[in-house]
Amino acid sequence: EVQLVESGGGWLQPGGSLRVSCAASGFTFSNSAMSWVRQASGKGLEWVSIISGNGAATEYADSVKGRFTISRDNSRNTLYLQMNGLKAEDTAIYFCAKGVGADCSNGCSSRIMDVWGKGTTVTVSS
């Protein structure tokens, strides 16, 4: 069974840093791009970042560029999101999602999110 489990969420003050993780199982991790998508309470979905299957290519939403870093360890089947300079508006549930493909070399199926984790909650407040 394909499964994604996020961890590492918590409460912290503005300006703080946090790293959330996503443990993957049930599929060949390196064959899939991975994304982070967040959702503030009562709001819609907001894409945050994506990383290719081999980790060589990354992209970010403007709202987090320069503050957040996505990475992956294919030997540990784990995805990470390092969040620095956190702001109140970063408060949300953070979901990791598996891409259908590894990258955009043959269409961009990597950007279709076919499996999602249950999410981890990040709260930024003073």
Partner 1 sequence: EIVLTQSPGTLSLSPGERATLSCRASRSLSSDNVAWYQQKRGQAPRLLIYGASSRATGIPDRFSGSGSGTDFVLTINRLESEDIAEYYCQQYAGLPLTFGGGTKVEIK
* Residues at the interface with partner 1 (CB under 8 A): 35, 37, 44-47, 50, 59, 61-62, 95, 97, 100, 107-109, 111-119
Cα–Cα distance measured from residue 17 to residue 81, given in angstroms and rounded to the nearest whole number: 11
Residues contacting residue 65 through CB under 8 Å, at least 6 positions apart: none
Please state the closest distance from residue 75 (CB atom) to partner 1, in A.
26
Residue 12 vs 61, nearer CB to partner 1: 61
CB of 95 to partner 1, least distance (A): 6
Nearer to partner 1, 12 or 108 (CB): 108
Q: For residues 19 and 65, which CB has a smaller minimum distance to partner 1 in the complex?
A: 65
Backbone angles phi, psi at 95, to 5 degrees: -105, 140
CB 21 within 8 A of CB 44: no
State phi, psi for 37 to the nearest 5 degrees: -130, 140
